Amino acid sequence: MPWTKRDFLTGLGLAIAAFAACAAVAGTPEKPGVAAPEAFSALQKDHWAYKPIVRAPLPAVTDRAWVRNPIDAFILASLEEVGGKPSPEASRVALIRRLTFDLTGLPPTPAETTAFLADSRPDAYERLVDRLLASPRFGERWGQHWLDLAHYADSNGFELDAERPDAWRYRDWVISAQNSDLPYDRFVALQLAGDELAPGDPGSLIATGFCRSGPREVVGGNVIPEVKRQTELSEITGTVGSVFMGLTMGCARCHDHKFDAIPSTDYYRLQAFFAASELTDVPIASEQERKAYEAASKAIEAKTAPLRKAMSELEAPYRAALSAAKTSMLTPEERLIAATPEKDRTPSQKKRAKGLETSLRIIWEEVAEAVHANPADHARREALKHQIYELERTLPRPPAHAMALVDEREKADDVFVLRRGDYRNRGPRVSPRPPGVILASQRGPAFTEGSITPRESKTGRRSALAAWMARTDNPLTPRVIVNRLWQHHYGRGIVATPSDFGVRGESPTHPELLDWLAAELVDQGWRLKPIHRLMVTSAAYRQASDPATSLAADDPENDFLSHMNRRRLDAEGIRDAMLCVSGDLNPRMGGPGVIAPLEKEIKDLIFTEQEVVDLWPVDPSPAQYHRRSIYLFRKRNVRYPLLDAFDAPDTQTACPRRETSTHALQALTLINGEFTTERARMLAALALGDPGGRDHAVQALYRRVLARKASQSELARARGFLAIQAELLAKEGSGSKAEKDAWVDFAIALLNCNEFLYVP
């Protein structure tokens, strides 16, 4: 295969980067000094993503009648250049399903579909767009996209995977920001530096939870404090670089970036913005809330005290026996150390005493196993545990805290380049500064140390970074976010690698359109809803999803957008859609994550009998189980099978683009899964209660599940299926339940239709 111009430039860039890396290593000082400013070659600065944004004039097109807004001019010009034509407009049923799923993550109701199909006004579609943009469900849908980037979860991950009791406040803040159309520059700034920009405002403190949403190791153990701190800063630095700037900054942690113009000095300069920041849970509860919680806690403690005393007395002989058994295995010297008061121990004895304490410690698993050998005591102990558990469940949640990132001092510690990422191997000292290759391309004032202004006992570093992110001459911030919006509306970004705008990422398919949208965002005051509206009202978005024959073979990735991309619903969309069409969806918004029951097989696989009580305390209200998926409790090490099967992110790393896999487990989950069966039972109950008869019930289910009427052939097949299935079930002994079970099977078949699972 012959080399393209891009291949040549990439190879040349690699050679330059390798040479620069070797030169940097050769010239590294032995003792830490101050890092010298880097120089970037013309080739490095010439990369498309680093160039200033230029709003190009709308291109001339032949088929002017097809153009509904400026987006269409750019799309059509590219199509006409290669001799292609756009596809016809999709049907009204396809449009309302596509638009409602895109903007709210839910299917349209039969009433909404009927109203739209009957609306003959010329702006009926635009009215639908405006209604959906104003829906509170919009924030839930687009909030989930952002939480993917923040790799949000309600637990820390790692071995302990402990709960984050206040993490949900950040999730609710994101949803609210989407619904209120908080300008994107402010949205970014508050997540980076809310504590500096709005001191005392609880919402702004909560916003900084973005920097704390990733996994975090909180168990002390053998983790060296410097390593732990560096791990936290690395998590923040990499996420900020990829999410806001579309740069793979994390690749420059241990050495200069192998491909992009990001030296390791720039990685640590970006990290230096967070050098004075601490991961802190800041109290935001009112005095009344705190007093109410204290009173409730004392009341519960008083009720559980006699139960705990009874349990302690029951366990005492077992603990004594365990302690005696462990002590008997000690050497005489070890027994002497254990018997010697700590103040009288020699340094050598003190050192050995730490290991002895671990050896002699009695853990609850040992006690449980010992008591289990006595059935009567085991039963009594379990009864006491259950009584304590039921009482403690009535305790209100602890007083509110903001899971925040804050500065508590005016001066930050010095930051050094860490060779190979090793905190013990310090290189030159660096000051906070954005990536140099971007600064070299900016037209406005230079970023200097004077750009950072300390404020009210805070360094002002993160607010300076936020201000730089939102500069109108920043080439990355607006490009990255409009590309993310395009990706979710059209199925693929103008840049197909949404978090990698570097030289190894994909080049934009429509660079002039990307810049035009970025400029439009800034001109609209950084408000995202007008950009959403522009995208979904375009003729390009309204195309049918059948491939255009003229370009189908030559454009397999649909880069020229000659038709709309057909997409499968994401994991949360599938679950929420099933809840919606079955009438089970609980529309309540906000609040702590809901812990819904796990399938028995999964629960038994992950948890012991004791652990399921302590680690997976199911919400006592069954109505909560039917909330939208965004409100489910996200535990990093425990994933709901339905969401897991359909490619929900693992929350360990930022997820800029979800994969869409196809495998047998998906079919098994949808056909045999408990969740699907429950939704099918609800649909079957609706069908059996339909006064219009079997055919009318079939049509009603089609309208609920697929937003359309069944054709005559589909109606005939449904009659045959229901009759045959009922007969088979009756023969198998179902009796009077045969008719109901036949409807359940029919509903399961509808929920497994590609037409239900895919957005047209």
The string of pLDDT tens digits covering residues 693-745 is: 999 999 999 999 999 999 999 999 999 999 998 888 888 776 668 889 999 99
Q: If residue 758 lies in a helix (H) or strand (E), which one and from where to where?
A: strand 758-759
The sign of the CA dihedral 355, 357, 359, 361 is: negative
Verify that 277 and 414 share a domain, yes or no. yes
Reduced to 3 states (helix: H, G, I; strand: E, B; else coil), residue 717 is helix
Query: What pLDDT is attached to residue 405?
Result: 96
The rounded percent of the chain whose pLDDT value lies above 70 is 94
Residue 194 to residue 203: CA distance in whole angstroms: 8
- Structure tokens belonging to residue 603: 């629960």
Verify that 295 and 438 share a domain, yes or no. no
- Structure tokens belonging to residue 502: 């570097």
pLDDT band at 614; cut points 50, 70, 90? low
Q: How does pLDDT run across 426-444, given as a tens digit for each residue?
A: 999 999 999 999 998 888 8
Residue 753 to residue 313: CA distance in whole angstroms: 60
Query: What pLDDT is attached to residue 221?
Result: 55
Which of 454, 474, 494 terminates a domain? The answer is 474
Q: How does pLDDT run across 330-351, given as a tens digit for each residue?
A: 888 888 888 888 888 888 888 8
Residue 351 to residue 348: CA distance in whole angstroms: 5
Residue 6, domain member (yes or no): yes
* Domains contained in the chain, number: 3
| Helix, strand, coil percentages for the chain (3-state, nearest 5) | 55, 5, 40
Residue 20 to residue 660: CA distance in whole angstroms: 39
The overall average pLDDT reported for the chain is 91
Segment 278-299 mean pLDDT? 94
The domain in which residue 302 lies consists of 287-399
Verify that 207 and 302 share a domain, yes or no. no
Query: What pLDDT is attached to residue 323?
Result: 87
Burial class (CB in 10 A: 0-12, 13-18, 19+), 451: middle
In sequence order, what are the beta bridge partners of 538?
A: none
Contact 464, 432 (CB under 8 A): yes
Q: Residue 586 has what DSSP assignment?
A: B
Whether residue 498 has pLDDT greater than 90:
yes
Distances (CA, A) of 285 to 204, 291, 397: 15, 10, 11
Residue 385 to residue 748: CA distance in whole angstroms: 41
Q: How does pLDDT run across 378-405, given as a tens digit for each residue?
A: 999 989 988 998 898 888 889 999 999 9
Verify that 386 and 414 share a domain, yes or no. no
Verify that 296 and 378 share a domain, yes or no. yes
Verify that 192 and 273 share a domain, yes or no. yes
Verify that 324 and 465 share a domain, yes or no. no
- Nearest to 607, CA basis, from 594, 597, 622: 597
Residue 358, domain member (yes or no): yes
Q: How does pLDDT run across 545-597, given as a tens digit for each residue?
A: 988 666 877 898 999 999 999 999 999 999 999 999 999 999 999 999 999 99
Query: What pLDDT is attached to residue 32?
Result: 67
CB within 8 Å of 223: residues ≥ 6 apart: 217
Verify that 187 and 204 share a domain, yes or no. yes
Residue 78, domain member (yes or no): no
pLDDT band at 30; cut points 50, 70, 90? very low
Query: What pLDDT is attached to residue 147?
Result: 98
Which of 446, 474, 502 terminates a domain? The answer is 474
Verify that 187 and 242 share a domain, yes or no. yes
Contact 550, 562 (CB under 8 A): yes
Half-sphere exposure of 431 (CA within 13 A, CB side): 12
The sign of the CA dihedral 515, 518, 522, 525 is: positive
pLDDT band at 17; cut points 50, 70, 90? very low
The rounded percent of the chain whose pLDDT value lies above 90 is 74
Q: How many CB atoms lie within 10 A of CB 712?
A: 8
Residue 501, domain member (yes or no): no
Q: What DSSP letter does each residue of 526-554 carry, written as one string?
A: T-SHHHHHHHHTSTTTTB-SSPPTTTTTT
Helix axes 110-118, 92-104, angle to 10 degrees: 130
Entry field: residues in the chain? 760
Which of 474, 495, 526 terminates a domain? The answer is 474
Q: How does pLDDT run across 655-678, given as a tens digit for each residue?
A: 999 999 999 999 999 999 999 999
Whether residue 374 has pLDDT greater than 50:
yes
Residue 109, domain member (yes or no): no
Q: Give φ, ψ of 627 to 5 degrees.
A: -70, 165
Verify that 291 and 373 share a domain, yes or no. yes
Query: What pLDDT is attached to residue 82?
Result: 93
Residue 555 to residue 550: CA distance in whole angstroms: 9
Residue type, 277: S
Whether residue 8 has pLDDT greater than 50:
no
The sign of the CA dihedral 66, 71, 77, 79 is: negative
Contact 654, 149 (CB under 8 A): yes
Residue 658, domain member (yes or no): no
pLDDT band at 36; cut points 50, 70, 90? confident
- Structure tokens belonging to residue 606: 């992950």
Contact 325, 318 (CB under 8 A): no
Query: What pLDDT is attached to residue 610?
Result: 60
Contact 56, 515 (CB under 8 A): yes
Residue 563, domain member (yes or no): no
Query: What pLDDT is attached to residue 712?
Result: 96
In Å, the largest CA–CA distance within the chain is 97
Whether residue 613 has pLDDT greater than 70:
no
pTM beyond cutoff 0.85:
yes
Residue 678 to residue 759: CA distance in whole angstroms: 23
Verify that 347 and 251 share a domain, yes or no. no
Contact 440, 453 (CB under 8 A): no
- Nearest to 637, CA basis, from 661, 658, 611, 663: 611
Residue 478 to residue 482: CA distance in whole angstroms: 6
Q: How does pLDDT run across 53-70, given as a tens digit for each residue?
A: 999 999 999 999 999 999
CA 37 to chain CA centroid, Å, is 36
Query: What pLDDT is attached to residue 137?
Result: 98
Segment 71-80 mean pLDDT? 97
Whether residue 22 has pLDDT greater than 70:
no
- Give the Cα-Cα-Cα angle 20, 26, 32 (nearest 5 degrees): 105
Query: What pLDDT is attached to residue 608?
Result: 67
Query: What pLDDT is attached to residue 307?
Result: 95
Q: How does pLDDT run across 180-232, given as a tens digit for each residue?
A: 999 999 999 999 999 999 999 999 999 999 999 999 988 755 578 899 999 99
Q: How does pLDDT run across 140-189, given as a tens digit for each residue?
A: 999 999 999 999 999 999 888 889 999 999 999 999 999 999 999 999 99
- Nearest to 434, CA basis, from 444, 423, 421, 419: 444
Q: How many CB atoms lie within 10 A of CB 460?
A: 21
Verify that 306 and 267 share a domain, yes or no. no
- Structure tokens belonging to residue 728: 């088979």
Whether residue 139 has pLDDT greater than 70:
yes
Residue 653, domain member (yes or no): no
